[in-house]
Chains A and B, each alone.
Chain A
Amino acid sequence: MNNWFILAQALGLITILFEFASYQIKDKPKYFLAQGAGSLFWTAMFFAMGMASGMDTMASLIVAAIYSMVRNLVFWRIFAQNTPRSKEFGLNFLLAMIVVALIAGFFSIMNAPEQVRWLHIIGMITALSFVIGQYLPGVHAVRITVVFYAIAAMLLQTPLNILYGDFRWNIMGILIEVAKIASVAVFYARFSKDADDPVLTFAKPQLEAQK
């Protein structure tokens, strides 16, 4: 078996751990840190997969993964600082990221084989929704949008998109997306009663008195 393919699977396993963990985290900075770490391994996995099966169909996924890593790490700092200035910067950064994603998405769609362009268009739309969902307050928007994004990303890693070569099913890539969906399901099972909790945490007066 191709060594690059084996490496891709190993990197994918690490990505799964981070992806699953991130959707169990309610705190935004911690969520973005876990996502940023996951995206790093995700990028490496697509690169290895590209080396194994050809870069043409993986290029858009590599770009998406790098974009995701940078975005998550910047958002991590923005939400950790949590100042009006950092939030303003974050929002401008988000808008810039949307523009970059639209341009990159356009080129990746144009470069994709004609018969799979529809899938890349869906991928771009769901990715944009997810990016916005990540930035929105609360715990729900990001989890709802990631499910749609994961489905689209999953399809991009099947013979629907990988048209040629020996490895037309990127099993690990698919498992990563399944892990996201499963993690969202587990999150709602765990926190069905108080999913909104971290949105507004108010100080307990008794604890303040003891400080």
Chain B
Amino acid sequence: MFQLVSDGGCEFTNEEAQLHKVDVVPFYVSFDEKTYLKESIDIAKDEYFRRMQEDKELFPKTSQPNPQDYVDAYRPHLEAGKDILSLTISSKLSGTHNSATLAAEMLKEEFPDRAIVVIDTLNSALGQNLILREVVKMRDAGYSLQETAEVTAKVLRTTKIYFTLDTLEYLKKGGRVGPTTALVGGILGLRPVLHLVDGEVEQLESVRGRKKVMQLMEEGIAKAVKDDKENINLCVGHILSEEDGLSLKASLEKSIGTEITTPLTEVGATIGTHTGPGALAVAYCMKYETFVS
């Protein structure tokens, strides 16, 4: 059996990581660009977002795990004679994939008989979360490292994540929208719906009003996945917006006609820094079983 490693973009809680035997290499977050804290270790996700919510001027920075962080994560498993499958957040969003790849190369000479496969999920947050869940299932079902890597490449192509924000302020701070767009969008109550396309954040549309955007997401996603409801996994996430997250999850379950078994997930800093508190997200992917005979 191989060891699974993922960066913090997978949004596994510490308990989930322990339960599913996944080593999570955390991202760093900083409020002052001097002190960098490990997400979910030195600072809890909700604490991070509460500080953002309390101080509107605050725009924290995130930093990728460095190659040494990955070396430290990989080494004990390699020493124990295990191969490694390492999933990373989209390489278009972060240099984490590069850090993980560099670490794998650094350890190659030291452990020539061991394999380290690093996969760029082209996703983040809930999308990466769902892919990792499929990989966990494959590993637990006894698939080899190579088989798992091959099927994962297919699963990640079907993985989609959509998220909506409560304010355009954080997109403005991150340079993703201009000041006029943020100002006018704020006056008009526009809620952008963003998604990842080939690993990059793109805007799908803007909708007026929180209630409306939730309704359109529910209807649109239900329409997109309904025919495949037996073959997909779906996940709903939020940032300090648990009530809306639960409401969206319940309405999606009703519209699709199936239970969403993945727990409501709290989205972390990698996406959250750009969205701010109040964001809602939905991701889905095809189950790995649809790609194996």
What residues of chain A have their CB less than 8 Å away from a CB belonging to chain B? 82, 84-85, 87-88, 91-92, 95, 136-138, 196, 199-206, 208-209, 211
Residue of B nearest to A140 (CB): B208
CB atoms of B160 and A84 under 8 A apart: no
Distance in Å: Cβ of A202 to nearest Cβ of chain B: 4
Point out the residue from A85, A137, A201, A208 that lies within 8 Å of B178, measured CB to CB.
A85
Over the window 145-184 of chain B, the binary record of Cβ atoms lying under 8 Å from chain A Cβ atoms (1 yes, 0 no) is 0000000001001111010000000000000111111001
Distance in Å: Cβ of B98 to nearest Cβ of chain A: 25
Point out the residue from B190, B225, B285 that lies within 8 Å of A137, measured CB to CB.
B190
- A92 to B182: give the CA distance in the assembly, Å: 12
Residue of A nearest to B201 (CB): A84
Residue of A nearest to B290 (CB): A209
CB atoms of B180 and A92 under 8 A apart: yes
CB atoms of B180 and A137 under 8 A apart: no
Point out the residue from A88, A95, A200, A205 that lies within 8 Å of B286, measured CB to CB.
A205
A-chain residues with CB within 8 Å of residue B231 when the two chains form the complex: 205-206
A-chain residues with CB within 8 Å of residue B228 when the two chains form the complex: 204-206
CB atoms of A205 and B216 under 8 A apart: no
Known contacts A82-B203, A199-B216, A202-B220; is-contact A208 B158 (Cβ 8 Å): yes
Residue of B nearest to A88 (CB): B178
Top 4 closest pairs, chain A to chain B, by CB: A88-B178, A202-B224, A200-B220, A205-B158
CB atoms of A202 and B162 under 8 A apart: yes
A-chain residues with CB within 8 Å of residue B208 when the two chains form the complex: 136-138
B-chain residues with CB within 8 Å of residue A208 when the two chains form the complex: 157-158, 160
Over the window 169-212 of chain B, the binary record of Cβ atoms lying under 8 Å from chain A Cβ atoms (1 yes, 0 no) is 00000001111110010001010010000000001111110000
Distance in Å: Cβ of A1 to nearest Cβ of chain B: 48
CB atoms of B181 and A137 under 8 A apart: no
- A197 to B144: give the CA distance in the assembly, Å: 43
Distance in Å: Cβ of A148 to nearest Cβ of chain B: 19
Known contacts A88-B178, A95-B180; is-contact A205 B207 (Cβ 8 Å): no
Point out the residue from A87, A137, A138, A205 that lies within 8 Å of B232, measured CB to CB.
A205
A-chain residues with CB within 8 Å of residue B223 when the two chains form the complex: 202
In the complex, how many residue pairs between chain A and chain B have their CB atoms under 8 Å apart? Answer: 85
List 20 A-B pairs, Cβ < 8 Å: A82-B203, A87-B181, A88-B179, A92-B180, A136-B188, A137-B206, A199-B205, A200-B193, A200-B204, A200-B205, A200-B220, A202-B223, A203-B224, A204-B225, A204-B228, A205-B158, A205-B232, A206-B228, A208-B158, A209-B154
> Is the CB of B221 closer than 8 A to any CB of chain A?
yes
A-chain residues with CB within 8 Å of residue B216 when the two chains form the complex: 196, 199-200
Distance in Å: Cβ of B172 to nearest Cβ of chain A: 10
Known contacts A84-B203, A201-B220; is-contact A206 B180 (Cβ 8 Å): no
Distance in Å: Cβ of B181 to nearest Cβ of chain A: 5
- A91 to B184: give the CA distance in the assembly, Å: 8
B-chain residues with CB within 8 Å of residue A205 when the two chains form the complex: 158-160, 224-225, 228, 231-232, 284-286
CB atoms of A202 and B178 under 8 A apart: no
B-chain residues with CB within 8 Å of residue A136 when the two chains form the complex: 188, 208
- A-facing residues in B39-86 (Cβ within 8 Å): none
B-chain residues with CB within 8 Å of residue A87 when the two chains form the complex: 177-178, 181, 203
CB atoms of B181 and A84 under 8 A apart: yes
B-chain residues with CB within 8 Å of residue A82 when the two chains form the complex: 203
> Is the CB of B113 closer than 8 A to any CB of chain A?
no
Known contacts A205-B284, A208-B158; is-contact A84 B178 (Cβ 8 Å): yes
CB atoms of A202 and B176 under 8 A apart: no
- A201 to B158: give the CA distance in the assembly, Å: 15
A-chain residues with CB within 8 Å of residue B206 when the two chains form the complex: 137
A-chain residues with CB within 8 Å of residue B154 when the two chains form the complex: 209
- A203 to B127: give the CA distance in the assembly, Å: 13
- A201 to B207: give the CA distance in the assembly, Å: 13
Distance in Å: Cβ of A26 to nearest Cβ of chain B: 12
- A92 to B184: give the CA distance in the assembly, Å: 10
Residue of B nearest to A137 (CB): B206
- A-facing residues in B261-288 (Cβ within 8 Å): 284-286
